[in-house]
Copies of this chain bind each other. A is one copy, B any other.
Amino acid sequence: MPRTLRIGTIGAGWMGTAHAVALRQAVLVFGSAPAVPEFHVLCDKRTDVAAAEARRLGFARWTGDWREVVDDPAVDVVDLTTTNESHPEIALAALARGKHVWCEKPLANAAADALAMTRAAEAAGVVTLVGYNYLRNPAIAYVRELIRAGELGEITLFRGTFDIDHMADPGMAFSWRHDRALAGTGALGDTGSHVLAFALALVGDIDQVVGHLATFIPERPVASSGSGQTARARGDEPRRAVENDDVCQFLLRFRNGAMGVIETSRIATGRKLWLTFEVQGSKGSAFFTQERMSEIQLYRAADPPAERGWKTVLLHPAHPGYAAFSPIQGNALGYADLKVLEARELLCAIGEGRPADPDFRFGWKVAQAVDAVERSAKERRWVATAEV
């Protein structure tokens, strides 16, 4: 009989909803789980939203005050989907009360906060999970397995990007994402952190970085109405200065000697979800793009000369996590399915009494690299992650 986990979700926006839906789907898709969610309480400071969404999503109750969630002894898991800058305070409070914590990425806007959260989590001995959902893709899980097993040989190079372009339009409104205090860095922390997650998961710890940042659209109109990722302005509104980077590129050295480049842009005309990586090793290489998330490109140097080439491998039941979705190779997964796999990891880790992947320590390593890149850009020099 699987254990029941009472979920307290903080934040009832797009991501909060996605988490609740994903938890429910995780049980339906996989048929059974070592732990099953019970939707205990939903919190949003917009109390009308909290009430409506709680009803729609099947939460037993709602609140406007996150402290009620954290203090509720019935809550087993605090599910944190609020804006970045609020993560440390809430997560630390939850950890202090011994709750498991599922926290959206990035863990924190500053590496120091992320480190404090990591230490608190490790002291509490609970399960933590950070929302680097792209990592849960069975295609990527398979590449991780290949690398760990030495199938690609010594890894010499990592190349990654995350380019999007829905902010390439200068008429797109100023939002919290352009506000240094709320969002931290721009593309670097928002989209670039996903590439760092790939780099860390596939190649390992990062030793040093050097990078540069730029803001090509220096100010944006303040939207009179609407919000979110696609809010546009009428054209005659006041304008506000953008406070963080549109584009970031950096070089990196991994502890194991591999070289790397990461690029990210939120104004990359034409690129929609161009989250990619290429890993080159002495025995093989792999390439992935989120725009074709249900396939992976593989190259093996040991193939016979006349048949050396990149193979396009569609998702297959032998790739970790895919078999629950389809008994045959080639059925595409979608973006939402990645959250289902992430929710599944939460349920299994808690149910099986093991750490989840990626946990807060992983989230801290991402934050540390982000800080190092930012400092390197400011001081125009190579910066060691250990300096941060």
Which residues from chain A sit less than 8 Å from chain B, CB to CB?
17, 21, 25, 28-29, 31, 56-57, 142, 153-154, 156-157, 159, 161, 163-166, 168, 210-212, 214, 216, 228-230, 247, 249-251, 253, 257, 259-261, 263, 265, 267-273, 280-285, 290-295, 298-299, 301, 303, 305-314, 316-319, 325-337, 380-382
Please tell me which one of the listed residues B17, B211, B257, B272 contacts residue A328 in the complex, with CB atoms under 8 A apart.
Answer: B272
Q: Are A328 and B291 in contact (CB under 8 A)?
A: no
User: Given the complex of chains A and B, what is the CA–CA distance between A168 and B283 in angstroms?
Assistant: 9
Known A-B contacts A263-B261, A298-B309; the reply to A330 vs B282 at CB < 8 A is: no
Q: A261-B263, A310-B311, A314-B291 are in contact. Are A247 and B327 (CB under 8 A)?
A: no
A232 to chain B, nearest CB (A): 12
Residues of chain B contacted by A311 (CB below 8 angstroms): 303, 307, 309-312
A313 touching B318 in the complex, CB below 8 Å, given contacts A157-B268, A334-B294: no
User: Could you pull out 8 A-B pairs where Cβ atoms are within 8 angstroms?
Assistant: A21-B25, A154-B216, A228-B327, A292-B295, A308-B313, A310-B312, A332-B334, A334-B334
**Copies of this protein, total:** 4
A-B contact sample (16 more), CB < 8 A, given A214-B257, A270-B310: A17-B28, A21-B25, A212-B251, A216-B282, A249-B251, A249-B260, A251-B251, A268-B285, A291-B295, A291-B330, A305-B318, A306-B319, A312-B312, A331-B334, A331-B335, A334-B337
Assembled-state Cα–Cα distance A294/B333 (Å): 10
Does the CB pair A142–B306 fall under 8 Å?
yes
Q: Which residues of B contact A165 (CB under 8 A)?
A: 301
Least Cβ–Cβ distance between A199 and chain B, in angstroms: 14
- Could you tell me the distance in whole angstroms from the C-beta of A276 to the nearest C-beta in chain B? 11
From B260, B280, B336, A325 is in contact (CB under 8 Å) with: B336
